[in-house]
A and B are shown apart, each in its own frame.
Chain A
Amino acid sequence: MYGSSAAAAATASSSPSASSPSPTSSGNGLTTSPASLNYFCIYNPDFGPTDETQHEQLLYYVARKTVSVDAKMRNIGLAQGLVNFARIFSPTAPCENVHSQKNRLVFYEAEPGYWLNLSIELGTVKRTVKGTDGKPRVITEYLEHEVHDTVVSALLRQAYAMFRVTHGTMESLVHAHEGNTRPLQRRLEEFFESWVLGWEFDRTTMNLEKALDGIQYLPLNRTSYLSVDRLVQAVKENYRSTGSGPVVTHSMVTFEDQLVSSDVRDEDLRAVWKQVVQTSGFDGASAQNYALDRSEAGRKSKTSTFKFGKSWSNTSIFGFYKSSSSTSTPPSTPPLKPTSRVSSPAPSIRSIDGINTGNTLSGALGSGASPRASGESEAGLTSGVKAQANPLWFGEYIASEDVDEHVGITLKHKSGLNLCFFVPVLDKEGNPVLEDQESFMREMEEFIAGLVHDAPLLDPTSGSGETSRSLLEDVARQVVKDALTARGLGGMISNDKEIRFLYFNRMNLAIKAQLGTISGAGKNSSSSSSGAMMLGSEVAMSLLDIKQDFDRMPDATEITTRSPSNYWIVGKRFEDREVYMIVSRKDSTLVEVEDEVRKLTSLYFNNNTLSAYSHAPSSGTGFSSTLTVPE
């Protein structure tokens, strides 16, 4: 070990760590630099089968350092070599990652032939020691174990999912242009350029929430759920397939950054949810998204959003409104980690030209000439309409590779409730169905605002005593109430700082976490004195280790570990549900920890039946029960 690191030191010390951001020195002769992006590229070997055309394989490439085309080609050549070699022995499961002493390569075959390849330079610790000859020597240790494969792989999957939901598949883009890859290259560049360079891989980014990439659901009680459902069904009923005219096929209801209900298929749920949340402007609070490089990406998104921000209408006739504080202003200040702003690439794609809906549509239809207005193309700038439309690509059928373009019409309610309805852009025959998007949106707003209870809904718990006949207002009120309750209860579940937990439901991707913010250096999970919940990065990575065990060992149902610093970490799995728990009481015994776990799991696992009644898995949350379960 000594020998190898010493050998490495010789080279590493000679090459300046220019690409490593902010190496930090501590007093004891240690210099650490975090892991950082080396390069990211997307390629498809099918596009350049010969030596002469090889460069056409490369669809996108970004690196910290400018490199020659040759260097780029060498890298994707290596990538293909590794992938092909792995395929000899593992023909079905492609190469996922490659560990080397200094770097980590991560692969994701997003679509057949289309590879995303990320290279990360590992973090280092340099320490100066006295050599045998008495001269100080620098020994570099590469922190291989601080880049967790599960997190990085999840990043690539998420990045692609976001691309697909805003652009459709890469293959369809190439296909739409008769095999010309230029438009795809441009889209990829627009999508990734501001984003990728902000990817961070230091230890604070290695957390379980990112690896799981769950969705935050708003816990609803049954009455609220039924009200929401009634509202959604009413809209769908009104815009059902009648042979002509726009059809609402899917819906998604969110409250701030939380998902209330949706019938988008599971494969697309995360990405659509993120997109809707972003569209509605509550993404800043989303804890599932990747941190942008605070300075750079923050600046970029600010600029681009500004173009829209000024045209944003806050007036509201029907009570829809957009909170300017939380929406049109992207974080101009660095977002707090890890609850940083959604890594949305959308801002960079938008252009002013794309604002009007007609362009949105044509762009969505794939005219490469017209910039695609996928963002918050505000429909009625002057007329005070508050719905907005943006194209989203997702599939109709479970497990189908195909994705179809939809116009997502988002209606914002001032309470924070967002209703999003999706209309396929093309009907079954392939004809465009939305001739006049703007008027359609207006019509839909009016329809929704005009919805009333068939019979006045008496809500005995509403307290205010007044019952509105507006279904929308009523739903909003109930949802807000549930949200407040959940917030209160959430605090109660574990106000004990020595016990943290994370709940994840693989079925509907629901996640609920009380883990705390990861501190860069902390070795244990104890809270900082400031009262903020801090989580040691060691602990955070130990959670990832357990997740990895669950992934690799399908029959494992419970894993309990105790670290040398005596905190306990428990992972428990029951069918599709997983609970992770940290008990940092140092004197706890295995049996005591089990008691804590039992208490917590009784909240989540034993209430399956309650949440299972809901029709769509996405609408039922594991948490609906938490409202009724006494502490």
Chain B
Amino acid sequence: MLSPDMSTSATASSFTSPIQSATSPRLMPTKSRPTTALVFGEQAESLQPHLLPPPLQDTESLSSDDFVLSASSGSTAAAGAPAAAGNDNHSKTPSARSGLKTMPSGSSSQDDHSSESGDDADGRLTDTESEQGRARNRIGTPVIAGRSNNHHHHQGTTEHGTVSALQSLREIEEHDHEGRQTQLQGLESRFRTTTLAAQDQDLTSEGGDSTTESDTQPKSAMDPTQIQGKSVHMMITLYQLKVLRPKPSSGSVGNNSVSSRPKSRLQRTPSMQSYDSDDISNNHGGYQKHYGDEDHTTSAWTEHRKHFFILSSAGKPIYARYGDESRISSYMGVIQALISFFADNDDTLRCINAGEHRFVFLLKAPLYLVCVSRSGESESQLRDQLGYLYAQIISVLTQSQMTRIFEQRNNFDLRGLIGGTEIFLDSLGKLMNTYPGFMLGAIQCLTMPRELRDKVGAVLGRAKCKPLLYALLVTPTQLITLLRPRTHSMHPADLHLIFNLLSGSTTFESSESWTPICLPKFNNKSFLHAYICYIAKKVCMLLISPDKDSFFEMSNVKQKVVEGLEAGGMLASLESYAAAGTRGGFSVGDTGIPGLRHFLYKSRINVQFTMPELTEPYATTTARKRLLRQYQHMNERMHRKTRPLKLLFHVGEQETMLGWITSGFELYAAFGPLVSKSAVVLMSNKLLKWIRKQEDSLLILNSPSFEKFK
């Protein structure tokens, strides 16, 4: 059997891994635009006999449904619709495609067929050449159904400071129907009635083996009609979807035969992506990873400041931040061997230090997470970051599901199941390089007057409905307000995952979304369901419910809240505070302390932190990163398990830093390099005074619970 790499070269394109080519058919439908959403249901039905795999299920069920779907499509393929084999990679796709295809009037569906078959050739190619790639495709993207569509739409022009500018350079925004289709699928999924338990069972019975899907084929016989019928309602909202598809980086640029393709009719489409099979590199779910095509034998690859690797304890690559994880399986093998050597001696490998490089290991069987970094961050900080990556995976799979999968099959290829969520692992990697909340274990709050926050909270509280667990208003990385049951607070780590979800994809900005999410600190064994909707620019509402059928209720809650906010004239001010907050909320000048350059203040009681806008001399990305590294260094030095510190005063060439920890707060402040100690003490005291005065707008001092509004 050929390795994926081999197949790549076989197609004479450096970017066509089987996965890629397999993905391509899925993208084809984007060329045909639905003229009306309403046709959707019936047309889909009519198509169903030969092409339509069942619609996608909820994430919980996805893993099982994947198999189901791929099985069905596989059989279809055998029946002469070759597309299926290749397409089953995205089980959601076929359903979406079949639905959408019907929409364009007349001949367009024909076109689709032809183009599909062309793509299918690739699909078959991969089938024969790479079992693994196929397996991955089959079980892949659908997992994340509702969310995976979001993954493709990586927002190049994101305003979240969290997504690096680099990314935007490498991306081309694009609108296509893909996003809408997948989104739709996500929504369809909620009509599934299968319970979580049942799904889990499916999964186990499935055995996770992509080659045995046929066993489960009957399961695929969900009633798509019903689902689609309901989905129709959703189409209206979904229609607005903006889909961004990153451009394949570097080498693939040449493939932009694109220009000759029909231009997307939707706005903001500089050039349309070519969906030729050889054009799509490394792209499960349409998301193009940065440096995804980088050759791991080059120094450009090894020299990245921070690598993240995730592998299964059997040594199977699952994720690599840079490059194609499937190509570095030899490295994964080495890592696995090293880890097992220590394990054989009843020991655990934790960290390797070599020069400025640090190799940090986090063993969370059945997963191993490894970080290779020369960023200067400490071992414990890097391990925390690996922990966040792990939590991100859990949020897609749940702990129990993952454990079960690997109990069933030790060498399961998890990439299939988390396929499409790589974008969130990537964005998490970026967010952790810019957002101090991870290191502080605290949440940043949007700076706004307390009265407004309270009023907004009250509106949220009154909108409560039964299945609502948490209600949040956030800018992508700042909390506006959070309503919770009195008995359940929300762990900052969970909130960070939510922030990452929002900042990792901008798809949410344009529609109502309904996505399953596991919040590991809340309960790592099961999914919650998040209703996500931007109610104003940069103001996102999240309603989290344990009930996966509560989309409409949540949507109603949102409606009520929006009405309430508008009636009180609060929405506009929220929007303006959010806009200000995205820049930083306030500037260090507001403190009236000349000489103070920047600071981080964490209230240990509230687990929240605040910081001013990053202005000169921290206006550039490099300077910001350097400052964050300084903060990280201070933070790590002061929080060592042994030998912690109350105070740390650090003079460097660029700045003088003060770290000060008491039982109530942590303060990290940056001053000019030549400032005297007495001046630092003076300024710090002044700063603390200022913060106390402003505390109720900088922080959320009283997080309301729902009960309050009964």
Binding site for B on A (CB under 8 A): 4, 11, 15, 78, 81-82, 85-103, 144-146, 149, 538, 541-542, 545, 549, 552-553, 555-564, 566, 589-591, 594
Nearest 6 A/B pairs, CB to CB: A93-B355, A555-B653, A558-B651, A562-B647, A560-B649, A86-B354
In the complex, are the beta carbons of B643 and A563 less than 8 A apart? yes
Instruction: A91-B302, A99-B353, A562-B647 given; name 12 further pairs at CB < 8 Å.
Output: A78-B338, A85-B352, A90-B357, A90-B374, A102-B348, A549-B637, A555-B652, A555-B654, A558-B650, A559-B649, A590-B680, A591-B681
Judging by beta carbons under 8 Å apart, are A86 and B357 in contact?
A: yes
Segment of B32-40, B67-75, B190-198, B339-347 engaged in the interface with chain A: B339-347
Query: Is there an interface contact between A590 and B347, defined as CB atoms closer than 8 Å?
Result: no
Q: Are A558 and B649 in contact (CB under 8 A)?
A: yes
If A81-B341, A90-B354 touch, whether A101 touches B646 (CB-CB below 8 Å) is no
- Say whether chain B's binding surface is mostly helix, strand, loop, or mixed: mixed
Q: Which residues of A contact B372 (CB under 8 A)?
A: 89
Contacts of A563 in B (CB 8 A): 643-646
Distance in angstroms between the alpha carbons of A101 and B349 in the assembled complex: 7
- Chain B, Cβ-Cβ closest to A85: B334
Q: How far, in whole Å, are A82 and B335 apart by their CA atoms in the complex?
A: 9
Known: A81-B338, A82-B352, A95-B352. A562 touches B302 (CB 8 A): no
User: How far apart are the CA atoms of A20 and B677 in the complex, in Å?
Assistant: 46
Contact partners of B347 in chain A: CB under 8 A: 100-103
One of B337, B352, B680 near A86 (C-beta < 8 A): B352
A86-B352, A99-B351, A542-B643 known; A590+B341 contact, CB < 8 A:
no
Q: Is the CB of A538 within 8 A of B352?
A: no
**Cross-chain contact B649 with A98 (CB below 8 angstroms):** no
Nearest chain-B residue to A569 (Cβ)? Answer: B645
In the complex, what residues of A have CB within 8 A of residue B337's CB?
A: 81
- Which A residues are in CB contact (< 8 Å) with B681? 589-591
Complex: how many Å from CA A190 to CA B342? Answer: 31
Indicate if the CB atoms of B357 and A93 lie closer than 8 Å.
yes
Chain B residues closer than 8 Å to A542, beta-carbon distance: 643
Give the CA-CA distance A556 to B655 in the complex, in Å: 9
A210 to chain B: closest CB distance in Å? Answer: 18
- B376 contacts the other chain (Cβ, under 8 Å)? yes
B589 CB, min distance to chain A CBs, angstroms: 25
Taking a contact as CB atoms under 8 Å apart, the answer to whether B338 and A562 are in contact is: no
Among B331, B357, B654, the most chain A Cβ lie within 10 Å of the Cβ of: B357
CB atoms of B643 and A538 under 8 A apart: yes
Complex interface: chain B residues within 8 A of A552 (CB):
356, 376
CA distance A594 to B681 in the complex (A): 12
Instruction: Report the separation of the CA atoms of residues A557 and B348 in the bound assembly, to the nearest whole angstrom.
Output: 37
Out of A96, A144, A538, A562, name the residue touching B353 (CB < 8 Å). Answer: A96
In the complex, whether B219 has a CB less than 8 A from a CB of chain A is: no
- Given A555-B653, A559-B650, A562-B645, A545-B376 contact (CB < 8 Å): no
What is the minimal beta-carbon distance from A145 to any residue of chain B, in angstroms?
Answer: 4
Residues on B with C-beta less than 8 A from A545 are 637, 640, 643
A556 touches B650 (CB 8 A): yes
Is the pair A93, B651 in contact by a Cβ cutoff of 8 Å? no
Judge whether B119 is part of the interface by a CB distance below 8 angstroms.
no
Q: List A contacts of B351 (CB < 8 A).
A: 98-99
Once the chains bind, are B348 and A100 in contact (CB under 8 Å)? Answer: yes
Specify which of B331, B337, B372, B649 lies most central, judged by the most chain A CB atoms within 10 Å of its CB. B649
Complex: chain B residue closest to A102, CB-CB:
B347
Q: Do residues B643 and A145 form an inter-chain contact, with CB atoms below 8 A? A: yes
B622 surroundings in chain A (CB, below 8 A): none
**What's the nearest-Cβ distance from chain B to residue A122, in Å?**
10
Residues of A contacting B640 in the complex (Cβ-Cβ under 8 angstroms): 145, 545
A553 touches B633 (CB 8 A): yes
Interface residues of B in 662-695 (CB under 8 A from A): 677-678, 680-681
Known contacts A88-B331, A542-B643, A556-B651: A95-B350 contact under CB 8 Å: no
Most A CB contacts (10 A, CB to CB) among B334, B335, B356, B677 go to B677
By a CB distance below 8 angstroms, the chain B residues around A86 are 352, 354, 357, 359
* B644 in contact with A564 (CB, 8 Å): yes
Rounded to whole angstroms, the CA-CA distance of A100 and B343 in the bound complex is: 10
Chain A residues within an 8 Å CB radius of B641: 145
- Selected from B349, B633, B650, the residue in CB contact (under 8 A) with A100 is B349
- Chain A contacts for B379, CB-based, 8 A: 99
Give every chain A residue within 8 A of B302 (Cβ-Cβ).
88-89, 91
A100 to B350, CA, bound (A): 5
Q: How far is the CB of A159 from chain B (nearest CB, A)?
A: 20
Query: In the complex, how many angstroms separate the beta carbon of A611 from the nearest chain B beta carbon?
Result: 24
Bound Cα distance from A564 to B372, whole angstroms = 33
Instruction: Decide if B355 touches A541 in the complex (CB within 8 Å).
Output: no
- Show 23 residue pairs from A and B whose CB-CB distance is below 8 angstroms, ordered by the A residue: A81-B338, A82-B338, A86-B354, A90-B354, A99-B350, A100-B349, A100-B350, A101-B347, A102-B347, A103-B347, A145-B640, A145-B642, A538-B642, A541-B642, A545-B640, A555-B652, A555-B653, A559-B650, A560-B677, A561-B649, A563-B645, A591-B677, A591-B678
A residues in contact with B346, CB < 8 Å: 11, 15, 102
Q: Does B404 contact A (CB under 8 A)?
A: no
- B307 interfacial by beta-carbon distance below 8 Å: yes
A78 vs B346: C-alpha distance in the bound complex, in angstroms? 15
- Of all chain A residues, which has the CB nearest B297? A88
Contact of A92 among B355, B645, B651 (CB under 8 A): B355
Residue of B nearest to A143 (CB): B642
Complex Cα distance, B341 from A82, in Å, reads: 11
Bound-state CA distance A557–B637 (Å) is: 16
B648 on the A face (CB < 8 A): yes
Q: Produce 1/0 per residue, B285-328, CB < 8 A to A.
A: 00000000000000000100001000000000000000000000
- Per the bound structure, the CA–CA distance linking A560 and B331 in Å amounts to 42
Known: A90-B355, A93-B354, A145-B641. A100 touches B342 (CB 8 A): yes
CA distance A86 to B353 in the complex (A): 8
Residues on A with C-beta less than 8 A from B376 are 552
**Residues of B with C-beta under 8 A to A85:** 331, 334-335, 338, 352, 359
Give the chain B neighbours of A103 by CB distance below 8 A.
347
Most buried by B among A78, A98, A555, A557: A98
State the CA gap A509–B259 with chains docked (Å): 67
Chain B residues within 8 Å of A562, by CB: 645-648
Which residues of A lie under 8 Å from residue B352 when comparing CB positions?
82, 85-86, 95, 97-99
Contact across chains for A590 and B307 when beta carbons are under 8 A apart: no
Chain B hits for A556, CB < 8 A: 650-652
Nearest opposing residue in chain A for B633, CB measure: A553
Instruction: From the candidates B307, B355, B637, name the one contacting A94 in the complex (CB within 8 A).
Output: B355
Report the bound CA distance from A93 to B648 in whole Å: 30
Q: Are B646 and A560 in contact (CB under 8 A)?
A: no
Bound complex: CA A560 to CA B648 (Å): 6
Choice from A88, A93, A553 contacting B652 with Cβ under 8 Å: A553
Minimum distance in angstroms from A555 CB to a CB of chain B: 4
Please give, as numbers and ranges, the residues of chain A lying within 8 Å of B341 by CB-CB distance: 78, 81
Closest CB of chain B to A545's CB: distance in Å?
6
Distance from A551 Cβ to chain B, minimum over Cβ atoms (Å): 11
Identify the closest chain A residue to B331 (Cβ).
A88
For B349, list chain A residues within 8 Å (CB): 98, 100
Decide: A541 and B643 in contact? CB cutoff 8 A: yes
Our pick among A4, A564, A590 for the contact of B677 (Cβ within 8 Å) is A590
State in angstroms the CA–CA spacing of A86 and B338 once bound together.
11
Bitwise, B34-63 to A at CB < 8 A (1) or not (0) is 000000000000000000000000000000
Residue of A nearest to B328 (CB): A88
Minimum CB–CB distance from A535 to chain B (whole Å) comes to 14
* Cβ–Cβ contact B678 & A557, under 8 A: no
Of chain A, the residue at the smallest CB distance from B372 is A89
- Chain A residue with Cβ nearest B335: A85
Q: How far is the CB of B37 from chain A (nearest CB, A)?
A: 51
A538 and chain B: residue at smallest CB distance:
B643
Q: Which residues of B contact A555 (CB under 8 A)?
A: 652-654
Contact present for B650 and A594 (CB under 8 Å): no
Chain B residues within an 8 Å CB radius of A564: 644-646
Residues of A within 8 A of B359 (CB): 85-86, 89
